Amino acid sequence: MWDHIAARLTTPAQQASKPFGALRVTNFAASSLGRWWDSLSFWRITGIATSLASLVLLAGLAASLMRAPQTPIYVAILMTENSNEPAALVNTFADGRAELVPLRDLAAPEGRALQVWTLWDRAVGPRPVGLAPVIRTMSLNLNNLPTTGQGQLFEITLEPKGGSPTGRPTGPILMKGLTTRAL
């Protein structure tokens, strides 16, 4: 019997040398915590859950940044030819996008269209970047063109229904303006 009692008793030095998980805890809550703390499954699940939460937060941040309004780099105020009043804005962005924003209503007569042009180099000549029967907010096609720069001309002309047949402006200039650095 003495051998049995001696085997169950340990000296304080022996208890201190045992790892944390090997200590016998009598409190149920502490016992559960000890079992979780030493459980590989618990740490795997915790790691996966925190990784998923991080991915969800990262996706939300990326989506909110993509929806955030971007500030234009260059702005052109298109003035009417006759009254020299602002009629439209062209905003160009760092990612190469450009948009036309009308400030007043303007529609082409029956069988005609309004065509948007840009001129960045007089040796190359103007290039068409948009066509519509009515001036409305629209994206301009600046693909395959150099990036927009300071003093680049944008203009709107009155052309046949499908656009200029020559690839150059043929109709009267309705409004035009030069780009300037946005504030």
Query: Which is higher by pLDDT, 10 or 22?
Result: 10
The answer to whether 89 and 101 are in contact (CB under 8 A) is yes
The pLDDT value recorded for residue 143 is: 83
Which of the four pLDDT bands, split at 50, 70 and 90, describes residue 18? Answer: low
Q: What is the predicted pLDDT for the residue at 183?
A: 76
Higher pLDDT, 23 or 158: 158
Give the model's confidence band at 87: pLDDT under 50 very low, under 70 low, under 90 confident, else very high: very high
Per-residue pLDDT at 16: 52
The dihedrals phi and psi of 117, each to the nearest 5 degrees, come to -130, 155
- Contact assessment for residue 177 and residue 78, using Cβ atoms and an 8 Å cutoff: yes
Place of tokens 């003035």: 79
DSSP E strand boundaries for 49-152:
74-80, 86-92, 98-102, 112-119, 127-132, 138-140
Q: Cα(30)–Cα(45) distance, rounded to whole angstroms? A: 20
**pTM of the complete model beyond 0.95:** no
In CATH terms, the fold of domain 74-181 is Immunoglobulin-like (2.60.40)
**What are the residue boundaries of the structural domains of the chain, listed by start?**
2-67, 74-181
Closest by CA position to 89, among listed 176, 171, 23: 176
Dihedral over alpha carbons 41, 46, 49, 54 (to 10 degrees): -140
